[in-house]
Amino acid sequence: MTEAVMEPKVKTAPKIVEPTIFNLSSPGRTGVTMPASDVPETALPPQELLRADLPLPELAEVDVVRHYMHLSKFNYSVDSGYYPLGSCTMKYNPKINEDTARLPGFLFTHPLQPIETVQGNLALMFNLQEWLKEIAGFAAVTLQPAAGAHGEFTGVLMMRAYHKSRGDTRRTKMLIPDAAHGTNPASVGMMGMQVVTIPSDERGNVDLKALEAACDDTVVGMMLTNPNTLGLFDEHIEQVIALVHGCGGLMYGDGANLNALLGIVRPGDLGFDVMHFNLHKTFSVPHGGGGPGVGPVGVAAHLADFLPEPLVGVVEDGDDAQPPLYGFVRPAQSIGRMKAFHGHFGGGFVRSYTYIAMHGPDGLKDIAQYAVLNANYLQARLRDTYKIPFDRVCMHEFVAEGRFKDSDVRALDISKRLMDYNFHPPTNYFPLIVHEALMIEPTETENKDTLDAFADTMIKIAEEARTQPELLHDAPSTTQFGRMDEVKAARELVLCCWLPDNYKDE
Amino acid sequence: MTYIPISPHERDAMLETIGVKSLDDLFEAVPAKHRFPNLNLPPALTEMEAMNELSGLAQANENVRSDLISFLGAGMYNHYIPSVVDHILRRGEFYTAYTPYQPEISQGTLQAIFEYQSLMAALTGMDVSNASHYDGATATAEAVNLAYAQFRGKRKKVVISPTVHPHYRAVIRTYAQGMELEIAGDEQSLVSNLDVATDSTETLISLTDDKTCLVIVQYPDFFGRVYDYTKLIDAAHARGALVCVVANPTALALFKTPGAMGADIVVGEGQPLGIPMWYGGPSVGFFTTRKSYVHKMAGRLVGETIDNRGQRAYVLTLTAREQHIKRERATSNICTNQGLIALGTAVYLSVLGKKGLRQVAELCYQKAHYAASQLSQIDGMGLCFTEPFFHEFALCVNRPVKEVNNHLLDHGIIGGYDLGQDYPALKDHMLIAVTEMNSKQDIDVLVEVLSEVSHD
């Protein structure tokens, strides 16, 4: 059964659970109004430069609040429940972060203000650069990239610029393991480079023979997630890096899984040349329903000159009486600017700074240790019920197969059934090298009771799959909404709504 | 402090279930010589201490609400944000939710994005909007990717007006590094000799040829001027090229839409729509286009459908364009949108609505024009353009802008952006932005202090 096959087929008009903001509009209703002008009036420009109509909705404030409150209740969230979503690190988002990010000194500063008036912002950015360098073992960090994928793109641009600066122009191939996130090859595709896929071996490590065969003087480098998307730390990581370096390539680390490494090992110490951080995963910036992310990039010393501009630096040294003056500096061979301004300061840097400051070195190590403890505990509890294709001590996540012998139940059905028990599903169908993958990342912020309840439910669902598979095929049944007609959405492509046709202006 | 809810007793029970003795035993795959580094970081703070430290940093700034009067814009604007916006953004159901890949339990996020898309399409006069990009600059760079893909890489030239925001032009050049793209129109020679008195339409038209995939202009342009680009758009279309207009969303409440001029893509910075400046981000880049280009558009897209109970619902759609399916053949590697910020924008537009947003735009227009008329009367100062403008204008101050701005700062005022940094022909010119947040009194103080400067 695919998602497209839906019973019953609905022919009548769909039932509206919550009208759109446009449907709620009523001519002449007003919400927030603005003060009258306090300056002498200037004539507006000629009519032909003006718009005739502004077809936005008209509502009172209470209408808007009720509408969005209704919508909020249709969402699952970390604040309301458990999200064992592999590769996404859906940890608890501390409430203090919401308050520090909204301090007026941060909210109401303009990115182009004179540096003398924003020393607090610049000190925060400078320290965050320093802390990220220390945590991951790099020589320099840019905070500018807006998300993990943006950081990857930044990193690949720097790798290209590095080779080019050495007159090494033959390098066009990027080595990417078969377990990689889709953003890795997509970032490389944006650069016009070719992707060479490297298989995994039977223990979930990079296949060293295949890697060795692929390493030559046309290799830009390798993009590796470690621990990988199976949740496994590569047992030959030093050999992998030595092979890539040996052919003149650079080693890119996808920092998606850095939560497992805090205080455990620094990627820079292992020999990674460049890595992006996902502050929205590792350092508790909330996911916001899909963004904003935050994707700083760290580099080893030989790549520091290629970082995007500008970086925060000390422009005048301090002394006993005076703090240093922070300002902006331009790396000598910068790849350029990745974003209009300095990155996701308020939503990203302030929250991450708060989080790192509160954890300190020991707290960071606790994060990784308990994230790994929780993952191994769940793996141990589920091992007898679900096949774990690469079964060894995992890091912060593991991947199980969501299928059973002599059953047509798929990973998708298990996921949807979990919703009936008020759990968010694990990541499905990724990584691609596991059949019917269920990728489970508990994070460190779940207690044993929650993990046990989740494991018990998973075991119960496996039993249901054998005895009452229709419960899984029809799931979810207890949620406000059921399975979606994805084909209809793509075929009809209704992407916007408007004020109703008969809408009259007052 | 940490947020780990596991007691030592529970930890030991879990270790026993796993079959290892200690937490450290879980990390044997990590090379021993690099295992468990000592991190040289400040010791952990409690919540109270962290709040003190962060408050101290925030107070070390001078902000444009309580400390300084600001006339700085150049891509980010100081607008009033109704209280309701942040109240909605603080709902844990929104801000702690993940990307809505499981639509059954994500309809709140999905419908909100669908409404954001609808509001942005209505504002720009276009057919469709995606779920947003990182910011205005990266949205503009994605417009280049769309146009390049639309012609399957056969048209390799992009014509860009020198009056597009300098940072946006820089980002486009960064993005284009691997693309074998020719970028014309804003070469250093053209920017240096920019004849600011004349409209650059004719130059842009002459540069547009049958190898051009995209022409990019800004509306209002970087100097605040408002042009009807219809003629330029028609000329570009006659040569087969697409046109992208980088628009200020507040201006669109008042001025003719790029959609009505025939634009193919309208992008821009959504920050003016209810998002704090936050020292530069996060904000939201909007991206709207014609329905015919939707398959080449990057980024997430929410579409309407029904669920198996016959209820109207929303899903992420056309996902086959995206990186997790297409991998290296994807047009873009993007895999987030600015979800929460887009929600803030939707709430802002909903609560201001048709009348409120127009009021904001008219207040900006009125106050900027009052400021321009007062400032242009100061001896030795003057406007260098005569074209209609919205809420920003270039003022010649006849001496180094840095000097003038230092003087203004001594009086608690942040002056305008120094245009000489990017446009040598506009040495000694500052770009002044005025919004509804500037009272007549603020403007009069600016005029007074600048008058003193001119008499120094």
What is the DSSP annotation of A451-478?
A: HHHHHHHHHHHHHHHHH-HHHHHT---S
Q: How many residues does chain A have?
A: 506
CA dihedral A222, A223, A227, A231 (to 10 degrees): -120
B37 touches chain A (CB under 8 A): yes
Number of Cβ atoms within 10 Å of the Cβ of A12: 6
C-alpha dist (Å) from residue B151 to A380, B125, B210, B241: 53, 24, 11, 9
CB A333 within 8 A of CB A176: no
Per the domain annotation, does A399 fall within a domain?
Answer: no
ipTM: 0.97
Question: Which positions of chain B have pLDDT values less than 70?
Answer: 196-198, 321-325, 331, 456
H/E element, A142:
strand A140-142
Rounded-to-integer distance, Cα A80 and Cα A66, Å: 20
Q: Which of residues 196-225 of A touch B (CB under 8 A)?
A: none
A1 touches chain B (CB under 8 A): no
Amino acid at A26: S
Per the domain annotation, does A2 fall within a domain?
Answer: no
Q: SS3 of B37, please? A: coil
Q: Residue A343 sits in which domain range?
A: 98-358
CB B198 within 8 A of CB B227: no
Q: SS3 of B395, please? A: strand
B259 touches chain A (CB under 8 A): no
Q: Say what the pLDDT of residue B322 is.
A: 67
Q: SS3 of B219, please? A: strand
User: Which chain B residues touch A294 with a CB distance below 8 Å?
Assistant: 282
Could you state, in order of their start, the residue ranges of all structural domains in chain B?
69-81+354-455, 84-348
User: Which chain B residues touch A484 with a CB distance below 8 Å?
Assistant: 103-104, 305-308, 313, 315
Write the CATH number of the domain with boundaries B69-81+354-455: 3.90.1150.10
User: Which chain A residues touch B127 with a CB distance below 8 Å?
Assistant: 496
A404 min Cα distance to partner chain B (Å): 23
The number of folded domains in chain A is 1
B230 min Cα distance to partner chain A (Å): 11
Q: Say what the pLDDT of residue A5 is.
A: 46
CATH number of the structural domain spanning residue A161 = 3.40.640.10
User: Is B355 within 8 Å of A188 when comparing Cβ atoms?
Assistant: no
Q: Cα B314 from chain centroid?
A: 26
A62 touches chain B (CB under 8 A): no
A6 touches chain B (CB under 8 A): yes
Number of Cβ atoms within 10 Å of the Cβ of A222: 30
User: Is A380 within 8 Å of B17 when comparing Cβ atoms?
Assistant: yes
Amino acid at B346: A
Rounded-to-integer distance, Cα B246 and Cα B229, Å: 12
Rounded mean pLDDT for each run of 10 residues along chain A, 506 residues in total = 47 91 96 97 96 96 98 98 95 98 98 98 98 98 96 96 96 94 86 92 96 98 96 97 98 96 98 97 96 97 98 95 95 97 96 98 98 98 97 97 94 98 94 94 98 98 97 97 96 93 79
Per the domain annotation, does A248 fall within a domain?
Answer: yes
Rounded-to-integer distance, Cα A168 and Cα A152, Å: 21
A291 min Cα distance to partner chain B (Å): 4
Per the domain annotation, does A477 fall within a domain?
Answer: no
Mean pLDDT estimate for chain B: 95
Per the domain annotation, does A350 fall within a domain?
Answer: yes
Per the domain annotation, does A465 fall within a domain?
Answer: no
Q: Which of residues 162-201 of A touch B (CB under 8 A)?
A: 181-183, 185-193, 195
Helix residue spans in B38-106 (DSSP H): 47-59, 83-89, 92-95
B96 touches chain A (CB under 8 A): yes
User: Is B354 within 8 Å of A105 when comparing Cβ atoms?
Assistant: no
The residue with tokens 């007026």 is: A104
Q: Which of residues 74-113 of A touch B (CB under 8 A)?
A: 74-80, 83, 85, 88, 90-94, 96, 98-100, 102-113
Q: What is the pTM of this model?
A: 0.96
Cis peptide before A227 (omega within 30 of 0): yes
Domain B84-348, CATH 1.20.1090.10 — does that match? no
Q: Which residues pair with A401 in a beta bridge?
A: A437
**pLDDT for B247-281, tens place per residue?**
999 999 999 999 999 999 999 999 999 999 999 99
Q: Which two tokens stand for residue A10?
A: 């609905």
Strands of A281-412, DSSP E: 297-299, 311-316, 325-329, 398-401
B398 min Cα distance to partner chain A (Å): 20
**pLDDT for A406-458, tens place per residue?**
899 999 999 999 999 999 999 998 888 999 999 999 999 999 999 999 999 99
Q: Which two tokens stand for residue A117?
A: 């008036």
